[in-house]
Structure 1
């Protein structure tokens, strides 16, 4: 087994642009791309290995063949043959809809799906760009519905101006939206269940209003008020700095300018690395090596003991795995 890279799954979306193509250093610019699904087993969008002995095999086939050796024993016991995460890059050329995601219980009952807890890492943001996360004042479910009807729901949401490196944790139930001018890395549960609450009266390619899910969303929304919804952290060179730890994933930031050895088997989980900038060479304990540059992602199988990350230019990585179940 070896660190796996996958073919890009590029998704044209009404609010997408061309920043993903540039960020990922693709050979051609693809216009209107809203998302690149880096690692996915959602629906028919299943990641396919792009290089090495398993080139051409998809993620489902690998899990069926390798099981716990790929996923980790505790991950396989908990999730079976389902890959628990969906890893994305998102380019918001225009505002995304105001939305919310159900938790595990509601998603299971309604959609036979995982819920959708997620996190955002801001890769780049134009001056003044921002996002919505959480409410700015206490409102009732009745006021919530009324404000959606009269187009004032954004008046009671917290708007956060953002810059590169900002982090937001979004547990299921937190109302949110990415606004225009932001490029984001998203780590989330393996789910595509979204309740669209408000969409600025935007029309699809046929001129029809996009579907809203207001009534469905009421039971999913967390109406509590929260302070400090932006995650605080202090980056340290050549060390892993924790950004998010929750039952569904743990994510660390690693900024490297030399050689750094990182454990894998000790987590009893696969480990994902997303390159936010720069370029690295990654070598596993069997001396298999891959290169990873800005905009690329790799999945390291749980059975590997460790990987060594060698910075070919100063690089910034998100490291993500499934923490041991408590």
Structure 2
């Protein structure tokens, strides 16, 4: 069977900090959860594998598709490197309350301790309430000893770097960078395929059973980057009908496609799948003699065998375009 651009059923995640924006803003009103904090849009994580929602491959899991189609789906070089494991995970996150302060290990630590990949990620802010902020890194460099002192006194926020955010803000978070998403923020997260999180501090919250969530203080100490950086927020200029690079690293590249009319994209020589995440508008993705619609809240996996597409907006459209170079 010939491959085509694939849509998947979202995997809904109930979170103690979740809200309603995935329904009210992204239009996923079929969520069964009262406090949906995340949807996993495209996932190969064991136990959370995405299932195709449309077309002749409807009902097929992403893992089984990779086993069957191999490099035709993900790209020959990607299949050679990652095998049957899909290397990226795409999420929407709705923070109705602050998330925990956390950090993720890099590949070396994650493979040694958890037999999986580490977690480098990026955020694209879809919507933010006035005054909403998030944490990425430290406002000044700290020693491990000083960090522990602030943590034990429950004053860690005093040394963290906070950024007030608005729609369109982008943040790149390499493994090892302390971070948390503040309340009032809806964003997309593009990341390595990994579900390893070291929770540093959870503001002493308890669940509906009166239990606090587990902390991972010692594990986090081994991976935290205690340095300060001056460029936590990604700077870019939005350009209509032009691909604008937001993030480029060994784990993934993500571009912004702001389409008002028509834009052509060639992936010849890339030898990799491409993911589109739509967060504004509606468009038609044309490939050969075929086409598929994409609209706000949709994510689309374009197989490696489809090397050229055109994106024609029905209404002004914004997409995130991600792949591995």
Task: Report the Cα distance in structure 1 between the residues aligned to 2:208 and 2:80, rounded to whole angstroms.
Answer: 44
Instruction: Show CA shifts across 1:285-311 (max 9, x none).
Output: 2x2211111010000000112111110
State the partner residue of 1:35: 38
3-state SS of the aligned residue for 1:247? coil
CA separation in 2, counterparts of 1:161 and 1:27?
29
Q: Distance in 2 between matches of 1:21 and 1:297?
A: 15
1:266 is paired with a residue of what secondary structure?
A: coil
Which stretch of the first structure deviates more once superposed, 297-306 or 144-153?
144-153
- Equivalent position of 2:91 in the other structure: 88
| Deviations, residues 267-325 of structure 1 (Å, cap 9, x unaligned) | 1100000001000111112x2211111010000000112111110000000000011xx
Render the CA deviation track for 1:119-149: whole Å, top value 9, x for unaligned: 0000000000010001112211122122112
Provide, for residues 86-116 of structure 1, a one-character-per-residue CA deviation record: whole Å limited to 9, x for no partner: 1000000000000000000000000001000
Q: Structure 2 CA distance, aligned partners of 1:168 and 1:41?
A: 23
- Quick check: 1:72–1:268 contact (8 Å CA) kept in 2? yes
Please name the residue that 1:178 is paired with: 181
1:161 aligns with 2:151: no
Within-5 A mapping of 1:211-222:
211-222=214-225
Shift of 1:263: 1.5
- Segment drifting more, 264-273 vs 309-318: 264-273
Once structures 1 and 2 are overlaid, which stretch shifts more, 242-251 or 17-26? Answer: 17-26
The residue that corresponds to 1:118 in the other structure is 121
* Alpha-carbon shift at residue 28 of structure 1 (Å): 4.3
- 2:145 alignment partner, SS class: helix
* CA distance in structure 2 between the partners assigned to 1:86 and 1:145 by the alignment: 32
TM-score normalised by structure 2 residue count: 0.97
The whole-number CA distance in structure 2 between the counterparts of 1:70 and 1:24 is 27
1:283-298 equivalence runs, <5 A: 283-285=286-288, 287-298=289-300
* Structure 1 residue 79 displacement after superposition: 0.6
Indicate conservation of the 8 Å contact 1:104/1:116, yes or no. yes
Deviating more after overlay: 39-48 vs 260-269: 260-269
CA distance in 2, matches of 1:26, 1:13: 16
Contact 1:130–1:160 (CA under 8 A) maintained in structure 2: yes
1:36-88: CA deviations, max 9, x gaps?
10000112110000001101000001000000010011111111111000100
CA contact (8 A) 1:145 1:214 kept: no
Unaligned runs of 5+ in 1: none
C-alpha displacement of 1:27: 3.9
Q: 3-state DSSP class of the match of 2:108?
A: helix
Aligned to 1:52: 55
- Say if 2:18 is the partner of 1:5: no
Determine if the alignment matches structure 1 residue 97 to structure 2 residue 100. Answer: yes
- Write the distance in 2 (CA, Å) between the matches of 1:88 and 1:284: 25
User: What's 1:312 paired with?
Assistant: 314
SS of 1:267's equivalent in the other structure is coil
SS of 1:159 mapped into structure 2: strand
Residues 75, 16 of structure 1: alpha-carbon distance in 2 compared, 3 angstrom cutoff: same
Rounded to whole Å, the distance in 1 between the matches of 2:81 and 2:154 is 42
2:18 corresponding residue in structure 1: 16
1:138 aligns with 2:136: no
Does the 8 Å CA contact 1:12/1:33 hold for their aligned counterparts? Answer: yes
Unmatched runs of 5 consecutive residues or more in structure 2: none
CA shift at 1:208, angstroms?
Answer: 1.1
Using structure 1 for the length normalisation, give the TM-score.
Answer: 0.97
Q: CA RMSD in A?
A: 1.0
1:205 deviates by: 2.1
What is the CA distance between 1:246 and its match in structure 2?
0.4
Provide the rounded CA distance (Å) in 2 between the counterparts of 1:260 and 1:295: 20
